[in-house]
Amino acid sequence: MTAFRCGYCGIVGRPNVGKSTLMNRLCGEQVAIVTDKPQTTRDMITGIKTTESSQVIFLDTPGLHESGKALNKKMVRAAEEGAASADFLLMLCDPTQNNLEQDVQIAEKLRQLGKPVIVVINKIDLIRKHEMLPVMQMWADAGMSEIHPISAATGEGVEELEKAIIAALPEGPQLFPEDVITGQNERFLAAEIIREKIFLFTHMEVPYASMVKVDEYKERSETLTAVVAAIYVEKESQKGILIGERGAMIKRIGQAARLSLEERFGRKFFLELTVKTRKDWTQDEAFLKKMDAAYKG
């Protein structure tokens, strides 16, 4: 009888390489929010894929990057914690980005953790096949023996990658019930869905200057949940953009978030949103720590 395999797989890489898209693809459902803007993910998100013979706990991490802002430092710490707690790592690379040698440097640091690293070259649907050769060679020259070209968006190559992931899992007992697909609670997921709509509908600095805090999450009945949330921004001008003319933007964000919540959880939602200004909150470590506990419920 084949032994059951179970373990933690960290998904790491620079911003906007497709980490969240890949985790959603591997899990078969949307667990992490996805937008076309870099640095969308701010916290480590868990996605769980269970089969008859294995369970993979994916750790989707924020993009690794350098920045002096307290918020960005917090994001990098979350990525490093995810890498440290995983049994093995998927190092994602986007061949359409510049300075691919930065990916090799990140991979070298990850190998110092003493854990297996699987290189995943994502977004192969966006480049020509002959352009893949130098990227593959770069990783081979860096001493990486397991390299998987894939497209998380289309699914190309993902089946082979899944086989490699299962092979890398240690033997061990199942850690989560088979119907659980994420380790995040509903309050956290609600905040993330609201933040996703802010990223989708607003531009420039507004998405990055916004944080969502769920103040109330109550089951009014078996079929209705009430959510009251505050969106924090850094400037009054950003508050004006989020609210919009006659409240049009906040209404659009709220309607879209409510529909996504209802689709995600299979019940009706009442959603109330307010917008508040907290000057330079992205640089305030004390405020971030205070909000973090409330944000995750």
Q: What is the DSSP string of 88-121?
A: EEEEEE-TTSS-THHHHHHHHHHHTTT--EEEEE
DSSP 8-class letter at 72? H
Q: What is the pLDDT of residue 69?
A: 65
Quick: pLDDT tens for 155-180: 999 999 999 999 999 999 999 998 88
Amino acid at 212: V
CA distance 114 to 173: 23
What is the Cα 43 distance to its own chain's centre? Answer: 7
**What is the CATH code of the structural domain delimited by 5-168?**
3.40.50.300
Whole-angstrom Cα distance, residue 16 to residue 221? 39
* pLDDT tens column, 244-268: 999 999 999 999 999 999 999 999 9
- pLDDT for the residue 11: 93
For the chain, give every domain's residue range: 5-168, 186-296
Task: Say yes or no: do domains 5-168 and 186-296 share a fold.
Answer: no
| H/E run at residue 11 | strand 5-13
CB atoms within 10 A of CB 256: 17
Q: What is the CATH T-level fold of the domain 186-296, as seen in this structure?
A: GMP Synthetase; Chain A, domain 3 (3.30.300)
Residues of the chain predicted below pLDDT 70: 1, 65-69, 72, 75-76, 79, 294-297
The C-alpha atoms of residue 80 and residue 87 are separated, in whole angstroms, by 13
13 bridge partner residues: 92
156: left (phi > 0), else alpha (psi -120 to 50), else beta? Answer: beta
Q: What is the pLDDT of residue 297?
A: 46
Can you name the residues that pair with 49 across neighbouring β-strands?
56
> Burial, 98: exposed, middle or buried (Cβ in 10 Å; 0-12, 13-18, 19+)?
exposed
125: left (phi over 0), alpha (psi -120 to 50) or beta: alpha
Q: What is the pLDDT of residue 202?
A: 93
* Continuous segment of H or E residues that includes residue 241: helix 236-243
**210, two tokens:** 């916004």
